[in-house]
Amino acid sequence: MINIKENEELNKLNHSCAHLMAQAVKHLYPDAKFWVGPVIEEGFYYDMDLGDVTLTENDLEAISREMKKLVKDGKRIVRQEISKEEALQMFRLDSYKIDLIEEFSNDEIISCYTQGDFTDLCRGPHVSSVKECKYFKLLKFSGSYYKGDSKNKGLQRIYGVCFPTLEELEAHLKELEERKERDHRKIGREQELFMNHELVGSGMPLWLPNGARLRKALENYIYEKEEALGYHHVYTPCVGTVDLYKTSGHWDHYKENMFPSMKVDEEEFVLRPMNCPHHMLVYKNKLHSYRDLPIRIGEFATDFRYEASGAVKGLERVRCMCQNDAHLFVTKEQIGEEFKKVVNLILDVYKDFGIKDYKFRLSLRDKEDKEKYFPDDEMWDNAENKLREVLDSMGVEYFEAIGEAAFYGPKLDVEVKPAVGPDVTLSTCQLDFLLPRRFELNYIDSDGEKQTPVVLHRAIFGTFDRFTAFLIEEVKGAFPLWLAPTQVNVIPVNFEYHLEYAKEIVLLLKNNSIRVNLDDRNEKLGYKMRESVLKKYPITIILGQKEVDEKTISYRLYGSEETTTLKIEEFVSYLKKRIMDKN
Ligand code: TSB
Ligand code: ZN
- Predicted confidence (pLDDT) per residue in 123-170, tens digit: 888 999 999 999 999 999 988 888 777 777 888 999 999 999 999 999
Q: Does 471 lie in the same domain as 518?
A: no
- Per cent of the chain over pLDDT 90 is 79
Beta bridge partners of residue 262, listed in sequence order: 269
Distance CA 446, CA 292 (A): 12
Q: Is the pLDDT of residue 579 over 90?
A: yes
**325 catalytic per annotation:** yes
Q: Which atom of ligand 1 is nearest to the CA of 307?
A: 26
Residues 460 and 546 in one domain: no
Angle 226-227-228 (CA atoms, 0-180°, nearest 5)?
90
Q: Quick one: 148 and 66 in the same domain?
A: yes
Residue range 85-93: average pLDDT? 85
The answer to whether the bond into 125 is cis (omega within 30° of 0) is yes
Output the pLDDT for position 94: 83
Residue 189 falls inside a structural domain: no
Q: Check: CB of residue 164 under 8 Å from CB of residue 135.
A: yes
Nearby residues of 557 by Cβ (< 8 Å), 6 or more positions away = 538, 539
187 found inside a domain? no
pLDDT in the model for residue 106: 80
Say yes or no: 395 and 514 in one domain: no
More confident residue, 21 or 51: 21
Question: Would you say residue 242 lies in a domain?
Answer: no
Give the whole-angstrom CA distance, residue 467 versus residue 476. 14
Q: Is 256 within the bounds of a domain?
A: no
Distance 276 CA to ligand 2 centre (A): 4
Please list the residues that pair with 360 across neighbouring strands: 398, 414
CB contact set of 533 (below 8 Å; sequence gap of 6+): 540, 558
Catalytic residue among 327, 361, 498, 556: 327
CA gyration radius for the chain?
29
Angle between helical axes of 57-73 and 8-28 (0-180°, round to 10) = 110
- Is 498 catalytic? The answer is no
Q: Of 410, 440, 475, which one is at a domain's C-terminal end?
A: 475
Of residues 405, 412, 408, the one with CA closest to residue 436: 408
- The rounded distance, in Å, linking the Cα atoms of 280 and 477 is 39
d(CA 419, CA 354): 17
Which candidate, 98, 51, 44, places its Cα nearest to that of 67? 44
The pLDDT tens digits of the residues spanning 465-504 come to: 999 999 999 999 999 999 999 999 999 998 788 999 999 9
CATH of residue 460's domain is: 3.30.930.10
CA 453 to each of CA 49, 241, 417, 429, 446: distance values in angstroms, whole numbers, following the listed order: 57, 24, 35, 16, 14
Tell me: do 453 and 557 sit in the same domain: no
Cα–Cα distance between 280 and 436 in angstroms, integer?
7
Residue nearest (by alpha carbon) to ligand 1 atom 20:
462
The answer on 508 and 379 residing in a single domain is no
- In a domain? residue 261: no
pLDDT, tens only, 505-529: 999 999 999 999 999 998 999 999 9
The per-residue pLDDT for 414 is 96
| Residues contacting 229, CB < 8 A, separation 6+ | 296, 341, 345
Q: What is the pLDDT of residue 451?
A: 96
pLDDT, tens digit (0-9, with 9 covering 90-100), for 162-209: 999 999 999 999 998 999 999 999 999 999 999 999 999 999 999 999
Indicate whether 510 belongs to any domain. Answer: yes
Alpha-carbon distance of 20 to 129, in angstroms, equals 10
pLDDT digits (tens, 9 = 90+) for 246-280: 999 999 999 999 999 999 999 999 999 999 999 99
Ligand 2 geometric centre to CA of 319 (Å): 17
The alpha carbon dihedral of 307, 312, 317, 323 has a sign of positive
Query: In the 8-state DSSP scheme, what is residue 261?
Result: P
Confidence tier at 376 by pLDDT (50, 70, 90): confident
Task: Tell me if 217 is assigned to some domain.
Answer: yes
| Residues 170, 227 within the same domain | no
Domain boundary among 149, 182, 215: 182
Same domain, 160 and 201: no
Measured over the CA atoms of residue 265, residue 267, residue 268 and residue 272, the dihedral's sign is negative
Give the distance from CA 255 to its chain's centroid.
22
Q: Strand ranges (DSSP E) for 276-410?
A: 295-304, 320-330, 359-364, 398-402
User: Residues 29-34: what's their mean pLDDT?
Assistant: 90
CB distance 84 to 106 below 8 Å: yes
Tell me the ligand closest to 411's alpha carbon. Answer: 1
Separation of alpha carbons 295 and 329, rounded Å: 5
Q: Which amino acid is at 360?
A: F
Name the residue at shortest CA distance from atom 25 of ligand 1: 317
Helix axes of 335-352 and 209-228: crossing angle, nearest 10 degrees: 140
Q: What is the pLDDT of residue 372?
A: 80
**First-to-final CA distance of the chain:** 28
Q: Which of 305, 313, 498, 556 is catalytic?
A: 305
Q: What is the pLDDT of residue 186?
A: 96
* Shared-domain flag, residues 55 and 137: yes
Note the pLDDT tens digit of each residue in 289-330. Answer: 999 999 999 999 999 999 988 889 999 999 999 999 999 999
Range list of H helices, 330-482: 335-352, 377-394, 435-438, 464-475
The total number of structural domains in the chain stands at 3
pLDDT tens string 537-567? 999 999 999 999 999 999 999 999 999 999 9
CATH code: domain of residue 172: 3.30.980.10
Contact 56, 49 (CB under 8 A): no
Pick the residue whose CA is nearest to atom 11 on ligand 1: 428
- What pLDDT sits at residue 270? 97
Instruction: Assign residue 101 a region (left: φ > 0; alpha: ψ between -120 and 50; beta: otherwise).
Output: alpha
The atom number, within ligand 1, closest to the CA of 427 reads 17
The predicted pLDDT at position 496 comes to 80
Confidence of residue 99 (pLDDT cuts 50, 70, 90): confident
Domain of residue 176, residue span: 4-182
Measured by CA distance, the residue closest to atom 17 of ligand 1 is 462
Contact between 424 and 415 (Cβ < 8 Å): yes
Instruction: Write the single-letter amino acid at 271.
Output: L
What is the predicted pLDDT for the residue at 378? 86
Q: What is the CATH number of the domain that holds 533?
A: 3.40.50.800
**HSE-CB of 85 using CA atoms within 13 angstroms:** 2
Q: Residues enclosing ligand 1, CB less than 6 A?
A: 274, 276, 305, 307, 317-318, 321, 323, 325, 327, 425-426, 428, 430, 457-459, 462-463, 465-466
Residue-averaged pLDDT of the chain: 93
459 and 368 co-located in one domain: yes
Q: Which is higher by pLDDT, 408 or 193?
A: 193
pLDDT value of position 546: 93
Same structural domain for residues 95 and 55?
A: yes
- Helices of type H across 422-492: 435-438, 464-475
Closest CA to 348 of 228, 514, 483, 455: 228
CA pair distance 205, 481, nearest whole angstrom: 25
**Amino acid 246: pLDDT:** 96
Residue at 8 is within a domain: yes
- Name the closest-CA residue to atom 6, ligand 1: 274
The pLDDT confidence band at residue 370, using thresholds 50, 70 and 90, is confident
Helix axes 335-352, 377-394, angle to 10 degrees: 50
- My answer on whether 362 and 326 are in the same domain is yes
8 Å CB contact between 40 and 34 = no
What does the pLDDT read at residue 351?
A: 94
Q: What is the pLDDT of residue 54?
A: 86
Q: How far apart are CA 430 and CA 104, in angstroms?
A: 42
Would you call 327 a catalytic residue per the annotation? yes
Known catalytic residue: 322?
A: no
